[in-house]
Structure 1
Amino acid sequence: MPKLIRLYITQVLIGFGISGLFVALLLWLDVANLWTLIRGSDVTLLAIAMLWFMNGIVFAGVQFAWAVMNMAEKDEGPKGGSLVAHGFVPVRVVAKSVKKAR
């Protein structure tokens, strides 16, 4: 299996795992009475599965993007910009008035 595909599958599984923890915490802490609302419904499992899956898509995408961006090579050059001090000199600007049309 190519390394990129293996990386993608691994990061997606990690993202869905994080989503499972997130949904479990949401329901356990009863944020915005979410668990109370879901528990009183007749489609409890469907609601939990949808909540996990939709958050899983987001977390998996973020996890994969973070993994790809973390693969960038680190620059060894100087950092922080120029060490030369810049002097600021005020410049006079003439403002002309514009006559209003009637």
Structure 2
Amino acid sequence: MPKLVRLYIRSVAIGFGLSALFLGGLLALDVAGLRHLMLESGSGWLAGAMIFLFSGSVFAGVQFAIAIMAMADTDDTPRGGLRQHAVPVPVPVAAQPRRRR
């Protein structure tokens, strides 16, 4: 299996693991009465499944993005070409006094 596919599968697994922790935290802390709503309602399992799936897809995408960005090479060579540094030259400007109205 290609390395990128393994990286993606690992990122998805980590993302959905974080999603399970997130849902468990929401239910354990009873944020906004969510635990009561999910346990007392007949379709509370659907709400739990939706929170798990949607937050899992977000967490998996973020995890994959972080993993891809961490793969970047650090280039320590100087950049910018052969620019010559300009030396500022003072330019005298004659100012006229303002007239009061």
TM-score by length of 1: 0.72
Percent of aligned pairs with the same residue? 53
What is the RMSD computed on CA atoms of the aligned residues? 2.2
1:33 corresponds to 2:33? yes
* Cα drift, residue 47 of structure 1: 1.7
TM-score by length of 2: 0.73
What residue ranges of structure 1 are gaps of 5+ in the alignment?
Answer: 79-83, 93-102
Aligned length: 84
**Structure 1 stretch 38-47 or stretch 60-69: which is displaced more?**
38-47
Note the 1:16-55 alignment, pairs <5 A.
Answer: 16-55=16-55
* Cα drift, residue 75 of structure 1: 2.6
User: Partners of 1:10 and 1:58 in 2: how far apart?
Assistant: 14
User: Partners of 1:26 and 1:77 in 2: how far apart?
Assistant: 47
* Cα drift, residue 49 of structure 1: 1.3
* Cα drift, residue 45 of structure 1: 2.0
Runs ≥4 in structure 1, deviation > 6 angstroms? none
Q: What corresponds to 1:15 in structure 2?
A: 15
